[in-house]
Amino acid sequence: MKYKLSSYQWPAMVMVFLLNAMAWASFTIEANPQKYNAHPGEIFPVEYAIGSQDAGQAFVVLAPELPALDWCDTLLLEERARSADGRLQTLFLVGFVPGAAGDYEIPPLEFRVIPSDQESNTGVLAVAADASAQLLHSTAIPVKVRSGHLAKNIALIFFVSLVFLLLLSAVVLRFKKKTEVENDGENTIEQATALLHKARRHRLDGDFYACYRALRQLCDLAAAQSGTKDEALCERLDTRIEDTGYRGVRPSDDMLEGDFKAVEKHVTNMKQHGTKES
């Protein structure tokens, strides 16, 4: 015998269905990984938070059945409850231990949510196996498992590269400094050679004042490089400059030859000193 609902019973059934649907729709679930990176042999924890959108609504959440995954082991680390702004939340901390590096996915977990009688609390103390429950499913979580050796290798490569760059910088600076010193020495020797040639040309031209000025510059150049000034020679050349420039005295060939030899000796020492440094 078939049973038919009257026109008065249909609205009541629809209302009951809507009320039940509204009750089931009041629960939420969130999946939050507790680490950014996953490594082989290390626990990658994920927190699953099940909460009620209705303040003061009591409910029971059964622990999920952990999936058997070929790429990792799974274990339930912690289960606790908390209240925020009058809304209850049940938290499950699930650990996933990957065995090898790679790209994987944690599948959705299924949670059974059972509303309880807040006054009698019977739902919390005892839950029948066939109790009516709402099923909540978490979202899938992609996981990139990276080898711990990779991070160590990257750190080692970075350290070695840093040491290499420091050593390379030290070598470059030392080479640059040595090159600058050598260039300064070469420039000084070139300048001394040019002044000596200039003094000889003025001697041949009979311009003894210009000749002795060039020799005097050579004396200062030699003193600057060696760090020791030949005071006697410098004073003698100063006297020759005054005699030839202001008094019009013509030096003898012996005087000229002696002064040239004294200055040329310093130029030779400059060249030998520059050769030893290079």
Q: Are residues 90 and 198 in the same domain?
A: no
22 found inside a domain:
no
Whichever domain contains 53, its CATH number is 2.60.40
Tell me what pLDDT residue 164 has: 85
Determine contact, residues 136/50, Cβ cutoff 8 Å.
Answer: yes
179 found inside a domain:
no
CB atoms within 10 A of CB 200: 15
Position 1 pLDDT exceeds 60? no
**Around 1, how many Cα atoms within 13 Å sit in the side-chain half-sphere?**
1
Task: Write out the two tokens for 31.
Answer: 């999946």
Most confident among 3-12, 88-97, 129-138 (mean pLDDT): 88-97
Distance between terminal CA atoms of the chain?
A: 119
34 found inside a domain:
yes
Residue with more model confidence, 25 or 211: 211
Of the listed ranges 79-83, 120-124, 146-150, 200-204, the one predicted with least confidence: 120-124
Residue with more model confidence, 234 or 121: 234
Last residue of a domain, one of 95, 127, 146: 146
Range of the domain at 125: 27-146
Of the listed ranges 10-19, 58-67, 89-98, 231-240, the one predicted with least confidence: 10-19
Task: Write out the two tokens for 78.
Answer: 């912690």
Mind giving me the DSSP string for the chain? ------TTHHHHHHHHHHHHHHHHTTEEEEEEES-S-B-TTS-EEEEEEEEESSTT--EEEEPP-----SSEEEEEEEEEEEEETTEEEEEEEEEEEESS-EEEEEPPPEEEEEE--TTT-HHHH---TT---EEEEPPPEEEEE--HHHHHHHHHHHHHHHHHHHHHHHHHHHHHHHHHHHHHHHHHHHHHHHHHHHHHHHHHHT-HHHHHHHHHHHHHHHHHHHS---HHHHHHHHHHHHHHHTS-PPPPHHHHHHHHHHHHHHHHHHHHHHHHH-
User: If we measure between CA atoms, which residue out of 31, 15, 17 comes closest to residue 136?
Assistant: 31
Model pLDDT for residues 6-45, shown as the tens digit of each residue: 444 434 333 333 334 444 548 899 999 999 889 999 999 9
Residue with more model confidence, 233 or 171: 233
Residue with more model confidence, 1 or 82: 82
Q: How many structural domains is the chain composed of?
A: 2
Model pLDDT for residues 164-197, shown as the tens digit of each residue: 888 888 777 776 665 544 444 557 788 888 888 9
The reported pTM is 0.46
Of the listed ranges 70-74, 126-130, 138-142, the one predicted with least confidence: 126-130
15 found inside a domain:
no
Determine contact, residues 114/57, Cβ cutoff 8 Å.
Answer: no
Q: In this prediction, what percent of the chain has a pLDDT beyond 70?
A: 76
Tell me what pLDDT residue 2 has: 43
Tell me what pLDDT residue 130 has: 59
Determine contact, residues 103/146, Cβ cutoff 8 Å.
Answer: no
Q: Are residues 32 and 83 in the same domain?
A: yes
Q: Are residues 215 and 135 in the same domain?
A: no
